[in-house]
Structure 1
Amino acid sequence: MRATVDFAPLFRSSVGFDRMLNALDLASRIPTVDNWPPYDIVKTGEDDYRIDMAVAGLAENDLTITQERNTLVVTGRKAQEPQSAAEYLHRGIAGREFERRFDLAEHMKVTDAHFENGLLSITLKREIPEAMKPRRIAITSSTTRAEEAVPQIEARKEAA
């Protein structure tokens, strides 16, 4: 049995958090059905992350990574194998098709993807635009303003 959480009080008392609260509400309602392929999400620095996915049975050409706005989509589709005389007695390596979606925070960018020995590593970085970074605001006082030279506009004097 899954406990449900009512986010209505948060909607009433917060401004600008709609997307996050909707994501939490949606996550609490949708049961997780598919758990393949297994993956890890690792925070490697202040603004750096890595997703490691175990995709045994798939080759680099079978994988597609796309970023659509704030969603990272990793898709795996195995190419058709040519018919061989070999007969599988047991097939435990999955190698099946999948589509895994990750919701990304604002300003997250995929910087690298690396595939080695059945492990797909996707490197992400949060790149906050300069205009959105915190900046220090100078504080002035009334005495500071009085000391500043106020530019005067002088009119030409004409002889009468």
Structure 2
Amino acid sequence: MSNMTLSPLFRRGIGFDRLNDFFDYAMQSDTPNYPPYNIEKRGDNAYRIVVAAAGFSQDELAIHLENQVLTISAQPQNQADEQVEFLHKGIARRAFKLSLRLDEHIEVQQADYQNGLLAIDLQRIIPEEKLPRQIPIGRKLEQIENVTAEVVSE
């Protein structure tokens, strides 16, 4: 299944050439499973990422956004207590780096850390020029923009 190609889909779309790279990345077998996280849709344009970061303090967590890639990472501070012998160690307090690709118009609104859960709120904000509009037939683009500008100024 890793040899799946999406070229037939590209015949009906323009500008989706990065979509194939996205699917290749998603199909990789070395997808991290630590830490556990949820991606929630909280409305038409609102999303939330919740990362289970049990055992980490807020200072040990970092959130970084670059080129539409949101990276959540944690580096535990060394607090080795040589007097402690673990009979069972079920809390995996190990370093991690979780990267998620965001859509073009998704913006990070805020982040909150409470009860071992890191919640990052996202919002899709579509610019006015990208919103759907009706294109009249028989007019040039300059005429459409002039008519739109006149209606807005009134």
Q: TM-score, normalised by structure 1?
A: 0.77
Give, as a single letter, the amino acid of the residue that structure 1 aligns with 2:130: M
Amino acid across the alignment from 1:100: L
Give the conservation status (yes or no) of the 8 Å contact 2:60–2:76. yes
- Asked if the contact 1:58–1:118 (Cα under 8 Å) also holds between the matched residues in 2, the reply is yes
Q: What residue ranges of structure 2 are gaps of 5+ in the alignment?
A: 140-154
| Bigger Rg, which one | 1
- Tell me whether 1:58 sits opposite 2:26 in the alignment: no
Q: Does the CA contact (< 8 Å) of 2:38 and 2:51 recur in 1?
A: yes
Aligned in 2, Cα 1:100/1:108: closer, same or farther, shift over 3 Å? Answer: same
Partner residue in 1 for 2:69: 71
**1: distance between equivalents of 2:32 and 2:5?**
26
What is the root-mean-square deviation in Å for CA atoms of aligned residues?
2.2
Task: Please identify runs of 4+ aligned residues in structure 1 that moved more than 3 A.
Answer: 135-141
Distance 1:86 1:27, change over 3 A: closer
Could you tell me which amino acid in structure 2 is paired with residue 31 of structure 1?
A: S
Aligned counterpart for 1:36 among listed residues 28, 34, 37: 34
Q: Corresponding residue for 2:144?
A: none
Q: Which runs of 5+ in 1 are unaligned?
A: 142-160
CA contact (8 A) 2:37 2:51 kept: yes
Cα displacement (A) at 1:136: 4.4
Q: What is the Cα deviation at residue 38 of structure 1?
A: 0.5
Aligned partner of 2:8 in structure 1 is 9
Query: What SS does the aligned partner of 2:59 have?
Result: helix
Distance 1:51 1:39 in 2: 7
Q: Structure 1 vs Structure 2: percent identity of aligned residues?
A: 39
Partner in structure 1 of residue 95 of structure 2: 97
TM-score by length of 2: 0.79
Contact 1:62 1:76 in 2 (8 A): yes
Give the number of equivalent residue pairs.
Answer: 139
